[in-house]
A and B are shown apart, each in its own frame.
Chain A
Amino acid sequence: MATTKKAATPKKAAATKTAVTKAAAPKKAVAKKAITKKAVATKAATKTTTPMSSAPGRAARRSPSVAAGAARASGERARRRSTPLLSASASEGVAEQAPAPKAVSQPTPEPQPTPAPAPAASTPATRRAAHRPQPTVRAKASPKATRQAGIRPQSPRAKRAADEAARRHLRVATVAEPPPRPTSSRPSSARPASPDPTATQTDMSLPVPGIEELLSASIAAMRMAAQGAGISPEEIERRIAATLAFLRRRLEGDYSVDEFGYDEHFAEHVIFPMLRPIYRNWFRVEVRGLENIPDEGGALIVSNHSGTIAIDSLMVAQAIHDEHPKHRVMRALGADLVFQTPVLGSFARRGGSTLATGDDVDRLFAKGELVGVFPEGFKGVGKPFKERYKLQRFGRGGFVSAALKAGAPIIPTSVVGAEEIAPILGNMKTVARLLGLPYAPVTPTFPLLGPLGLIPLPSKWIIEFGAPIETAPHGAAAADDPMLVFDLTDQVRETIQQTLYSLLMQRRSVFF
């Protein structure tokens, strides 16, 4: 009902509406003034300029906050928002007072300079989107409003303090409106220069620079930052370009994965660079006997396994990848528990690991890959600290028969330093059983410091690749000979054990 009335005589309808909802407007006169003021504001949106001297405009200036409150209470704002702008210009209440609007055909109102209905009327302020009147909240009421409201006049000093306090609360509300002074001074000086009124539109719209400009700017900023940090800017640029190229290939699926799940692109760009600082700076790995690793063709790296968290396999792979002249990738063999675990399993496959089964080893050797195996398994990783550097049982020697089948040389490898990264003092067997883990270690730091206890101690590492044990002379048929397999297994085990002892003798200290 109210809406149909409003369509006919908007002013009257709104007035009755506000009269009904008197809570916001204390006096009917004030409410009426508010309506007229709003009408003028709507008008201002469609026109280029509004004459300052119009009587309702002046009246409205006195109580803008009350008007806004009334509008909000009566749902006027929402209705206006849904009403097309063209109908607003047809309201007869103000049409007679203002010159005929010329810019009616302009569909969207542009922010135009209109006199701000502020107490400081002497400074012209920019009013934005006047067809949607925004409540202007002022800390200071006009003298007349104060008088009408029956507020006792304060001393100027007390008033200033109260205003200051009010402004502090209202800061959020005032932010919505552009600060009046700079907008009024600068665009007014710039406007005469542009004769076309639409030129202001391009001024006000968001400047969208080309992506290239943006990038050059950000790269320049990066260069400066790099210089400030003491890194060569070219290096930074190269890294950023590499990262972006990497991201693009990952997003487009433009990489290949081999049948074991080894993702060369991911390994070269994520896994190896991630481990490199740990390898170089944390453990300061010293590598010996790299010449024992063949440049091509299958070979089997057999190493001791230790250190609670099985990071030694990663370090051996890193050593071969970084230090070997051919940068070969070691394809480590892992237990099924590894591939069952989320995240760990997919990382292991991407890094080149696969399940420790004869089928996979045969397949890897057939491709001429370098295979890494840690025959101690969880027995080696989870052994107590007092048994450090004592090799555990080497399983059934399946790795030896696989090497025999393929005729691949066995390279006994000894890792010193990994035992000390997280010394196992005890084993929480019940916890391990509950969680289905092979062991639940107690280290000097682990359950005590929480997740921080997972950080390995920075021991000094030595990795020595021993002289290869040739298996080709025995022939492929020897893979089924249990006696030979056990003998070879023992030989490999003894070699690693002896090398470990001699490396321990040479080591100056655990951490240096």
Chain B
Amino acid sequence: MGQVVLVTGVSRYIGGVLARRLAADPSVDKVIGVDVIPPPRDLGAAEFVRADIRNPMIGKVIAQGDVDTVVHANVIATPTFAGGRTPQKEINVIGTMQLLAACQKASTVKRLVVKSTAAVYGSTPRDPAMFTEEMTAKRLPSSGFGKDSIEVEGYVRGFARRRPDAEILTLRFANIIGPRIRTSITDYFNLPVIPIPFGYDARLQFFHEDDAIAALARGVTGTSTGVVNLAGDGVLTVMQAAAIARRPFVVVPMAAAGPLGSLGKRFGLVDFSPDQMSFLAYGRGMDTTVMRERFGFNPSFSTRAAFEDFARTLSPIVPSFDAMSGAVGGVAGVAQQVLGRATGGRL
């Protein structure tokens, strides 16, 4: 008999696509998708149940469906999509609490897969270049998604203590990016002019959305447990990413980042917490040895390829930038040709 999988957060991109993909998987018998709002995308063979994970009723869904694997993909990263910081925090923290309490009660649940984030490592100048799974943040994230994620992981550890028989897999994703998903980082690179903290050029890692779904599906059907960092190969710096996105950037002093961030929030352009500002200043890197060797997953997109795939979809908001960089490129190319001719190809 195959698995019965419960996926939370199916109305959002990753959850929805994951539910459809799992439903098509022959080793999975049944997929139950749960969210408070009906999914905008087709879930395929997956069954949608409108339920709130903040409500103890979720336990009934688990018990009635004989669910053996729970995928918690309902930790919301961006407050704008949840209707503000307060509902975001409630969905993330209270939702996880209730869901895990329901899982603990349901004896059928044998496996829990949690979609977590690299934000739990924080971002400070005292960070090591690469975080491994057993490292913790040098300075705990004080607000927003990072803090929520740390609390979520805390509840997951509590669940592991109370249900030692259950297999638990925590996947810490680097920033998921791609042509279809919308996150705060895609909003950021979608700005007409990208503000970069003055004097900093943070290292970023990205993970492609297709890889993220494949990794989650592998986590559901596989047997590996523990904590796994997931990121594409290599790093990009913020300025490099802006150049690839063909966007001009403007340097902003760190002191001005707060007011500017709240201004951007007011205009609905981008929603950035102080944690994300320090992330853009100091960056973060994750070691992915465990992902390759123990979890056995090789992402098909490197950090750069994932970002380029995303940047393809960006519409040129400032056409002059394209023209300018094209002109410089053209001048450089012609100059090289001319000089190559003049110097007899010694270049």
Q: Is A bound to B?
A: yes
Chain A interface (Cβ < 8 Å from any Cβ of B): 211-212, 215-216, 219, 234, 237-238, 240-241, 244-245, 247-248, 250-253, 255-261, 263, 336, 339-346, 349-350, 354-355, 357, 359-360, 363
- Encoded as 1 (CB less than 8 Å from any A CB) or 0, chain B from 229 to 240 comes to 000001111011
Q: Can you give 15 contacting A-B residue pairs, CB < 8 Å?
A: A211-B330, A215-B331, A219-B335, A219-B342, A241-B335, A244-B328, A248-B328, A248-B332, A248-B333, A253-B244, A263-B237, A341-B199, A346-B201, A349-B201, A360-B129
The verdict on A241 contacting B199 (CB below 8 Å), with A261-B235, A354-B129, A360-B128 known, is no
Report A-chain residues with C-beta under 8 Å of the C-beta of B127.
Answer: 355
User: Smallest CB–CB gap between B203 and chain A, Å?
Assistant: 5
A256 touches B234 (CB 8 A): yes
B125 touches A250 (CB 8 A): no
Q: How far is it, in angstroms, between the C-alpha of A211 and the C-alpha of B198 when the chains are bound?
A: 35
**Which B residue's beta carbon lies closest to that of A245?**
B332
The verdict on B318 contacting chain A, using a C-beta distance below 8 Å, is no
| Best-buried of A248, A252, A253, A345 by chain B (most CB within 10 Å) | A253
User: Smallest CB–CB gap between A54 and chain B, Å?
Assistant: 49
B290-345 contacts to A (CB < 8 Å): 304, 325, 328-336, 338-340, 342-343
**Which A residue's beta carbon lies closest to that of B282?**
A339
B247-261 contacts to A (CB < 8 Å): 254
**Which A residue's beta carbon lies closest to that of B333?**
A248
B200 touches A238 (CB 8 A): no
The verdict on B181 contacting chain A, using a C-beta distance below 8 Å, is no
B285 touches A259 (CB 8 A): yes
A251 touches B335 (CB 8 A): no
Q: How far is it, in angstroms, between the C-alpha of A14 and the C-alpha of B328 when the chains are bound?
A: 52
The verdict on A240 contacting B339 (CB below 8 Å), with A253-B241, A342-B198, A346-B200 known, is yes
**Which A residue's beta carbon lies closest to that of B197?**
A342
Contact of A257 among B200, B235, B243, B333 (CB under 8 A): B235
The verdict on B130 contacting chain A, using a C-beta distance below 8 Å, is yes
A212 touches B338 (CB 8 A): yes
**Which B residue's beta carbon lies closest to that of A346?**
B201
Q: How far is it, in angstroms, between the C-alpha of A350 and the C-alpha of B240 when the chains are bound?
A: 12
The verdict on B161 contacting chain A, using a C-beta distance below 8 Å, is no
Report B-chain residues with C-beta under 8 Å of the C-beta of A339.
Answer: 125-126, 282
Report A-chain residues with C-beta under 8 Å of the C-beta of B1.
Answer: none
Report B-chain residues with C-beta under 8 Å of the C-beta of A241.
Answer: 335-336, 339-340, 347
The verdict on A259 contacting B235 (CB below 8 Å), with A234-B343, A238-B343, A349-B201 known, is yes
Report B-chain residues with C-beta under 8 Å of the C-beta of A253.
Answer: 236, 239-244
Q: How far is it, in angstroms, between the C-alpha of A342 and the C-alpha of B234 when the chains are bound?
A: 23
**Which B residue's beta carbon lies closest to that of A212?**
B334
Closest 4 CB pairs of A and B: A342-B199, A253-B243, A244-B332, A343-B199
The verdict on A346 contacting B199 (CB below 8 Å), with A251-B243, A359-B128 known, is yes
Report B-chain residues with C-beta under 8 Å of the C-beta of A346.
Answer: 199-201
Chain B interface (Cβ < 8 Å from any Cβ of A): 125-130, 132, 135, 197-201, 203, 234-237, 239-244, 254, 282-283, 285, 304, 325, 328-336, 338-340, 342-343, 346-347
A219 touches B128 (CB 8 A): no
B241 touches A342 (CB 8 A): no
Q: How far is it, in angstroms, between the C-alpha of A63 and the C-alpha of B304 when the chains are bound?
A: 71
A215 touches B325 (CB 8 A): no
Contacts A244-B335, A355-B129 supplied; 6 other A-B pairs, CB < 8 Å:
A211-B334, A215-B338, A245-B332, A253-B244, A259-B234, A342-B198
Contact of B201 among A259, A350, A354, A359 (CB under 8 A): A350
User: Smallest CB–CB gap between B145 and chain A, Å?
Assistant: 23
Q: How far is it, in angstroms, between the C-alpha of A132 and the C-alpha of B300 when the chains are bound?
A: 65
Q: How far is it, in angstroms, between the C-alpha of A253 and the C-alpha of B282 when the chains are bound?
A: 19
The verdict on A215 contacting B334 (CB below 8 Å), with A257-B235, A342-B254, A355-B128 known, is yes
Report A-chain residues with C-beta under 8 Å of the C-beta of B200.
Answer: 342, 345-346
A336 touches B126 (CB 8 A): yes
Report A-chain residues with C-beta under 8 Å of the C-beta of B201.
Answer: 261, 346, 349-350
User: Smallest CB–CB gap between A49 and chain B, Å?
Assistant: 42
Q: How far is it, in angstroms, between the C-alpha of A341 and the C-alpha of B282 when the chains are bound?
A: 10
User: Smallest CB–CB gap between A359 and chain B, Å?
Assistant: 4
Report B-chain residues with C-beta under 8 Å of the C-beta of A341.
Answer: 199
Report B-chain residues with C-beta under 8 Å of the C-beta of A252.
Answer: 243-244, 325, 329
| Best-buried of B132, B201, B243, B335 by chain A (most CB within 10 Å) | B335
Contact of A336 among B125, B237, B285 (CB under 8 A): B125
A237 touches B130 (CB 8 A): no
A250 touches B338 (CB 8 A): no
**Which A residue's beta carbon lies closest to that of B330?**
A211
User: Smallest CB–CB gap between A233 and chain B, Å?
Assistant: 9
The verdict on A244 contacting B240 (CB below 8 Å), with A238-B347, A259-B235 known, is no
Report A-chain residues with C-beta under 8 Å of the C-beta of B130.
Answer: 259, 359, 363
A260 touches B129 (CB 8 A): yes
B339 touches A238 (CB 8 A): yes
Report B-chain residues with C-beta under 8 Å of the C-beta of A350.
Answer: 201
Report B-chain residues with C-beta under 8 Å of the C-beta of A247.
Answer: 328, 332
A261 touches B126 (CB 8 A): no
A251 touches B244 (CB 8 A): no
A340 touches B128 (CB 8 A): no
Report B-chain residues with C-beta under 8 Å of the C-beta of A354.
Answer: 129
| Best-buried of B201, B244, B331 by chain A (most CB within 10 Å) | B201
Q: How far is it, in angstroms, between the C-alpha of A363 and the C-alpha of B286 when the chains are bound?
A: 12
B325 touches A251 (CB 8 A): yes
**Which A residue's beta carbon lies closest to that of B243?**
A253
B342 touches A237 (CB 8 A): yes
Q: How far is it, in angstroms, between the C-alpha of A216 and the C-alpha of B334 when the chains are bound?
A: 10
Q: How far is it, in angstroms, between the C-alpha of A336 and the C-alpha of B243 when the chains are bound?
A: 28
B244 touches A215 (CB 8 A): no
Q: How far is it, in angstroms, between the C-alpha of A257 and the C-alpha of B346 when the chains are bound?
A: 28
Q: How far is it, in angstroms, between the C-alpha of A210 and the C-alpha of B347 when the chains are bound?
A: 24
